[in-house]
Structure 1
Amino acid sequence: MKYSYEFKKNCIELYKQGKWADTPRGINKYYFRNYIRRWNNLVETHGIEILKHKSHNNSFSVEDKYNSVLEVVKGKSTYQVSIELGISEGNIQNWINNYKIYGYNGLVNKKKGRKSKNTTMKKTNIHKPKKLNESEREELIRLRAENEYIKAENEIIKKEIALREKNYAAQLKAKKQRLSKNSKKKATD
């Protein structure tokens, strides 16, 4: 359900006074109050204009998405990051899942829409590659080095995530063993 700017603004004003707005019909009171809290946090972070409906979607660069994912990996909650960016937690979760599955390439914006049926109409440039001048060659070398650095950094992050998952699994296994020992002791008593 989309709420109007005025409605959100009134809900926040009542919230700041210590009152709750009437819950709309068909909406769970608990969820509606969470919406109001979220709206309040957004307004405190970005100002009242954040509540207005936007006519266009925000498009985040790959670096912005990557930095957001790193913030969550470092320990920030998805809620905190979503409030800072002014987007939903679902978007952050999607970025994290894409990053876990595809790595850095999972954060790249993909073309939307249906693929062209007629592939013969595509332009084909069959030219010999032009020779690079000195500055272009230096930039290419720099970009390749930067690419290698990012690949190494990604590998480190993947290993960190795998290690955390392994430790968490070991903790769960130890907890299950303790619980089963305690249940056996109670059964014998």
Structure 2
Amino acid sequence: MERKVKYDYAFKLECVELVLKKHYSSEHVSKVKGISKSNIIKWIDFYKTFGKVGLLSRKNQSYSIEFKLKVIKTIEKESLSLRATILRFNIPDQALIVKWKRDFAIFGVDGLRPKQRGRPKSMSNNKRKKRKSDKPLTREEELLLENESLRCQLDILKKLHALIQAEESTKKRKP
């Protein structure tokens, strides 16, 4: 899968001005600049609707549940296309709306809640240690711990023995 390329403000403005002021076709500009025609058309639409501000990138913008719900309800009520929706609500990418609609269809309003980002807390190095009580262990508990320890040692020895046998068998095959 190809990495998504981000374009800076000056590049977007240059492409838009080539189309609007110099009257080049968006297809010609896309070939000259080596980008997709749909990006240029999207930038032109944002420029016409919001001016130069529409070309500014909106990195890591988070949207409220109410806003997402309003967008989804407007799409359903007015039968808006994705392109018309991103222009009306100044959303940078159609994929966001598609994701919101899918999450809303599957999970309802709870699907529109912000997701936790990053590594889950369960993956942290802060493992909970068993709390040692002040009471001494009973004889039965001591024997159970010793039994578990011996089982672990036996498992390790079995694996070591299996590795040694595997090495010996590969040495016999390669004379």
Shorter-chain TM-score bucket reads 0.5 to 0.7
AA partner of residue 98 (structure 1): D
Asked if residue 105 in structure 1 is aligned to residue 98 in structure 2, the reply is no
State how far apart, in whole Å, the 1-side matches of 2:50 and 2:60 are.
Answer: 17
1:36 aligned onto 2:40? yes
What are the superposed Cα offsets for residues 92-150 of structure 1, whole Å, 9 maximum, x if unpaired? 000000000001110000111122234759xxxxxxxxxxxxxxxxxxxxxxxxxxxxx
Shift in CA distance, 5/120, structure 1 to aligned 2, threshold 3 Å = same
Give the counterpart of 2:87 among 80, 83, 86: 83
Quickly say closer, same or farther: Cα 1:7–1:101, change in 2 above 3 A.
Answer: same
Q: TM-score, normalised by structure 1?
A: 0.54
Aligned equivalent of 1:68, options 58, 62, 71 = 71
Please give the alpha-carbon distance, in whole angstroms, between the structure 2 residues aligned to 1:81 and 1:119. Answer: 47
- Distance in 1, Cα, partners of 2:33 & 2:43: 19
1:23 is aligned to 31
Whole-Å separation in 2 of the counterparts to 1:35 and 1:83: 13
Give, in angstroms, the shift of residue 16 of structure 1. Answer: 1.1
Q: Give the letter aligned to residue 105 of structure 1.
A: D
Please give the alpha-carbon distance, in whole angstroms, between the structure 2 residues aligned to 1:82 and 1:73: 14
Cα distance in 1 for residues equivalent to 2:107 and 2:54:
32
- Where 1:47 maps in the other structure, the secondary structure is helix
Runs of 4+ aligned structure 1 residues displaced above 4 Å come to 24-27, 118-121
Deviations 1:12-33 (A, max 9, x none): 1121142032525764xxxx22
Deviation at 1:89, TM superposition (A): 0.5
Report the CA distance between 1:85 and its aligned residue. Answer: 2.6
Radius of gyration: which is bigger? Answer: 2
Q: 2:52 aligns with which of 48, 51, 58?
A: 48
Q: Quick one: percent identity of the two aligned structures?
A: 28
What pairs with 1:1-189 in structure 2 (closer than 5 Å)? 1-17=5-21, 18-20=23-25, 21=29, 23=31, 27=35, 32-54=36-58, 56-74=59-77, 75-86=79-90, 87-117=92-122, 118=126
Deviation at 1:90, TM superposition (A): 0.4
Could you tell me how far 1:49 is from its partner in structure 2? 2.2
Give the match's secondary structure for 2:31. coil
Instruction: Give the Cα–Cα distance (whole angstroms) in 2 for the partners of residues 66 and 59 of structure 1.
Output: 14
Amino acid in the other structure paired with 2:57: H
Instruction: Name structure 2 gaps, 5 residues minimum.
Output: 130-175
Q: Distance in 2 between matches of 1:102 and 1:80?
A: 25
